Amino acid sequence: MWKMQQIITHLKNSRNVLLATHARPDGDALGSLLAMGLALEACGKKVTFYNESPIPAAYGFLPAVGRIQALMGSSDQYDTAVVLDCSTLDRVGKGAAAMLQIPTLINIDHHASNDGFGTLNLVTPAASATAEMVYGVITALGVPLDRDMGTCIYTGISTDTGSFQFSNAGRSAFAICEELVGLGVQPDVIARQIYGTFPLRRLRLLALVLGGIELTPGGEFALMTVTETMMAETGTTPADTDGMVNYARGLETVKLAALIQAAEKKNGEAGFHVSLRANGSVDAAAVAGLFGGGGHVPAAGFYTELPLEEIKARLFDIAGDLAPWEVTTHPLPEQAAGNQA
Ligand code: 5GP
Ligand code: MN
């Protein structure tokens, strides 16, 4: 608890705070970022919301989302940075190096693999979502929660628990959300925004992706691929593929599912982002780690500049013998993290 107190004391004394979260943000990243920022503003702090990626349209309803900026300006102006939902600082993207110049870095995250990059670290793998931890910070700050903050926190918990379907949807997730609904947060409206407002282009892309699904003979591994050609043909962008990998995970035989997706070029190099999902018996984070990525046991990912055919070949090679990745025979501390993303 003393870590929380140190963070609260520091935040109360801060003046100009940069808030950041990981590139390719999901609902937990954005919900945590916005709720934390709104609460700090309620304490009279100057706040800058930073994320270097485009914001997926499905999250356009979040309060204050329009204030998120892709440039942080000079790092000199900030006395404090709060980094949310990032297991390592480089998950922030290009801005990571400049953030190291900020005197105090506060790291708030629920990844078991978090490397403790902050000056002050609050890492709780048992939390269903970083948004659940942000709820705790806001409460400890003594800021009264309002409906806007609640909407952001609810969105983070809802998305990281797969709409309360995964094993991390425990008592605290439900208890917090119950309180938030009491503040006027509307689960039906949020669910419709996140899961029920897909543009037609996404369905057209999904049709192509499902048509090209590849499986191991026993169906333990399912691989889906989103190529640049498919995106061009359907007018989609990487933000339109959010959650698609779950179609492969839901197959009855699947232990491990992957979605390979052409990513935006970095330094002119063509690369791929790979999302991995496991059904509980395989450690997706350990598989992602082989490629320099990471995440949680059930949901992990990595970025690579290997050629597409080589990524596929390596994944099928791993899938040929999933035994070394079975969490039942090789228990890892990350198991406690549940089904987070
Ligand atoms: P997604 O597949 O939705 O992009 O990511 C699922 C989870 O995997 C994320 O919440 C994050 O924990 C992890 N993850 C995704 N991409 C990367 C990556 O490039 N590097 C690392 N270390 N983790 C990633
Ligand atoms: Mn998260």
User: Which CATH number fits the domain that encloses residue 157?
Assistant: 3.90.1640.10
Which among 246, 273, 297 is the best mutation to test ligand 1's pocket, defined by most ligand atoms within 8 Å of the CB?
A: 273
Asked whether residue 180 falls in the same domain as residue 206, the answer is no
Look at residue 95 and tell me if it is in a domain. Answer: yes
Asked whether residue 181 falls in the same domain as residue 59, the answer is yes
Looking at residue 13, its pLDDT comes to 98
Pocket of ligand 1 (CB under 6 A): 24, 26, 87, 111, 275, 293-296, 299-303, 341
Looking at residue 341, its pLDDT comes to 54
Asked whether residue 278 falls in the same domain as residue 189, the answer is no
In three state form, how does the secondary structure of the chain look? CHHHHHHHHHHHHCCEEEEEECCCCCHHHHHHHHHHHHHHHHCCCEEEEECCCCCCHHHCCCCCHHHCECCCCCHHHCCEEEEECCCCHHHHCCCHHHHCCCCEEEEEECCCCCCCCCCEEEECCCCCCHHHHHHHHHHHHCCCCCHHHHHHHHHHHHHHCCCCCCCCCCHHHHHHHHHHHHCCCCHHHHHHHHHCCCCHHHHHHHHHHHHCCEECCCCCEEEEEECHHHHHHHCCCHHHHCCCHHHHHCCCCCCEEEEEEEEEEECCEEEEEEEEEECCCECHHHHHHCCCCEECCCEEEEEECCCHHHHHHHHHHHHHCCHHHECCCCCCHHHHHCCCC
Look at residue 255 and tell me if it is in a domain. Answer: yes
Looking at residue 333, its pLDDT comes to 43
Which bound ligand lies closest to the C-alpha atom of 295? 1
- Which residue ranges in the chain fall short of pLDDT 70? 1, 266, 328-341
pTM of this structure: 0.91
Asked whether residue 215 falls in the same domain as residue 176, the answer is no
Asked whether residue 29 falls in the same domain as residue 154, the answer is yes
Last residue of a domain, one of 167, 195, 223: 195
Look at residue 336 and tell me if it is in a domain. Answer: no
Which bound ligand lies closest to the C-alpha atom of 129? 2
Q: Residue 184: name the closest of 215, 163, 153, 213 by CA.
A: 153
Asked whether residue 191 falls in the same domain as residue 234, the answer is no
Look at residue 331 and tell me if it is in a domain. Answer: no
Distance 230 CA to ligand 2 centre (A): 28
Looking at residue 20, its pLDDT comes to 98
Asked whether residue 220 falls in the same domain as residue 294, the answer is yes
Last residue of a domain, one of 164, 195, 226: 195
Asked whether residue 33 falls in the same domain as residue 161, the answer is yes
Q: Which domain holds residue 188?
A: 2-195
Q: Which pair of tokens denotes residue 322?
A: 């999933």
253-to-143, 161, 247 alpha-carbon distances in Å = 47, 22, 12
Residues 178-192 pLDDT 10s: 999 999 999 999 999
Asked whether residue 317 falls in the same domain as residue 181, the answer is no
Residues 305-324 pLDDT 10s: 999 999 999 999 999 999 89
Last residue of a domain, one of 169, 195, 221: 195
Q: Which pair of tokens denotes residue 203?
A: 């369905």
Distance 250 CA to ligand 2 centre (A): 21
Looking at residue 85, its pLDDT comes to 98
Look at residue 230 and tell me if it is in a domain. Answer: yes
Amino acid at 35: A
CATH of the domain at 280: 3.10.310.30
Asked whether residue 134 falls in the same domain as residue 249, the answer is no
Looking at residue 340, its pLDDT comes to 53
Asked whether residue 320 falls in the same domain as residue 176, the answer is no
Number of domains in the chain: 2
Asked whether residue 14 falls in the same domain as residue 50, the answer is yes
Look at residue 334 and tell me if it is in a domain. Answer: no
Residue 153 near residue 134 (C-beta atoms within 8 A): yes
Look at residue 337 and tell me if it is in a domain. Answer: no
Look at residue 142 and tell me if it is in a domain. Answer: yes
Q: What angle, rounded to 10 degrees, do the helices at 27-42 and 130-141 form? A: 10
Which residue, judged by its Cα, is nearest atom 24 of ligand 1?
301
